[in-house]
């Protein structure tokens, strides 16, 4: 027997929206199961049942914005903490990148429900994604996400000589954090004191901890790409909209 599951979970599985959005749409009467409107939260359905959404839901979703910031040092990704400002504080009309080609007009209401899709430490800089779109958040940070994230990492070797080739290979595959094996990464030298890291996961302070294990001290860390979206020429402390047709 196929087990029934919550309608909001099924909508998320189908890629229609996030679970939070699903609950909102169900409450508004915008969701149909096998052609019938379902407006009761917590309703369970079978995976074989057909789920459709009204046009208003798609219209509402298309208004949701995704913003790319070049985060400076000293800002936290999410909620304000220990006197440090959250990156969303940078999102205002005057700090929008002058070369942003998106036709979207900035309005303070866009700051509502704008959440970071992935973290960037307070002492790291570069590409940070803030989004109102639950589908994008799930794609970037959901437990099954395999979107690549690329970083440029300036390092100092704290032992005599140079980092052995065997330790560079360990950075690529073979290290463990929190008792679990890390997924394979792509780590290579860009120049004598800078490494490029490409990861498909994002444990807390992962790169710094990986470097620490092999005797490297991180002196600078910058995220330059998430999936197919690059930081490019976006200036530090400025932001732009994710362009129409631009995909991670």
Q: What are the boundaries of each domain within the chain?
A: 5-62, 66-144+229-241, 149-226
Q: What is the mean pLDDT of residues 12-31?
A: 86
Eight-state DSSP code of residue 110: G
In CATH, the architecture of 66-144+229-241 is 2-Layer Sandwich (3.30)
Q: Report residue 150's pLDDT band, with 50, 70 and 90 as the boundaries.
A: very high
Tens digit of pLDDT for each residue in 69-122?
Answer: 999 999 999 877 778 899 999 999 999 999 999 998 998 888 888 889 988 999
At 115, is the secondary structure helix, strand, or coil?
strand
CATH number of 149-226: 3.30.70.1560
Q: Report residue 13's pLDDT band, with 50, 70 and 90 as the boundaries.
A: confident
Strand partners, 116: 130
Which long-range contacts does 92-99 make (Cβ < 8 Å, 24+ apart)?
95/237, 95/238, 95/239, 96/238, 96/239, 96/240, 97/234, 97/235, 97/238, 97/239, 97/240, 99/233, 99/240
**Greater confidence, 145 or 211?**
211
pLDDT higher than 70, residue 1: no
The per-residue pLDDT of the chain, averaged, comes to: 91
pLDDT in the model for residue 199: 95
Q: Report residue 223's pLDDT band, with 50, 70 and 90 as the boundaries.
A: very high
Instruction: Give me the active site residues, please.
Output: 121
pLDDT higher than 60, residue 67: yes
State percent of the chain over pLDDT 70.
99
Strand partners, 194: 154, 191
pLDDT in the model for residue 148: 94
pLDDT in the model for residue 127: 98
**Greater confidence, 166 or 107?**
166
pTM score, two decimals?
A: 0.79
Tens digit of pLDDT for each residue in 24-53?
Answer: 899 999 999 999 999 999 999 999 999 999
5-62 falls under which CATH superfamily? RNA-binding S4 domain (3.10.290.10)
Q: Report residue 62's pLDDT band, with 50, 70 and 90 as the boundaries.
A: low
Tens digit of pLDDT for each residue in 182-209?
Answer: 999 999 999 999 999 999 988 889 999 9
Q: Report residue 214's pLDDT band, with 50, 70 and 90 as the boundaries.
A: very high
Same fold, 66-144+229-241 and 149-226: yes
Cα–Cα distance, 19 to 142 (Å, whole number): 12
């Amino acid at each position: 027997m196929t087990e029934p599951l919550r309608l909001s979970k099924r909508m998320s599985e189908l890629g229609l929206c996030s679970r939070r959005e699903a609950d909102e749409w169900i409450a508004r009467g915008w969701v149909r199961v096998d052609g019938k409107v379902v407006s009761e939260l917590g309703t369970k359905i079978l995976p074989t049942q057909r789920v459709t959404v009204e046009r208003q839901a798609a219209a509402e979703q298309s208004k949701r914005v995704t913003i790319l910031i070049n985060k400076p040092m000293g800002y936290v990704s999410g909620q304000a903490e220990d006197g440090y400002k959250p990156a969303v504080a940078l999102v205002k009309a005057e700090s929008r990148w002058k070369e942003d080609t998106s036709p979207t007009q900035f309005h303070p209401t866009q700051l509502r429900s704008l959440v970071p899709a992935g973290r960037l430490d307070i002492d790291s800089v570069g590409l940070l994604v803030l989004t109102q779109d639950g589908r994008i958040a799930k794609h970037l940070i959901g437990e099954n996400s395999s979107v690549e994230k690329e970083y440029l990492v300036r390092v100092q070797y704290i032992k005599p000589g140079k980092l052995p080739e065997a330790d560079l290979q360990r950075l690529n595959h073979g290290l463990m954090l929190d008792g679990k094996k890390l997924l394979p990464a792509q780590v290579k030298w860009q120049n004598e004191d800078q490494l490029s890291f490409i990861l498909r996961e994002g444990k807390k302070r992962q790169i710094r901890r990986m470097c620490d294990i092999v005797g490297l001290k991180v002196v600078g860390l910058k995220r330059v790409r998430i999936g197919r979206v690059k930081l490019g020429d976006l200036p530090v402390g400025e932001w732009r909209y994710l362009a129409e047709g631009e995909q991670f």
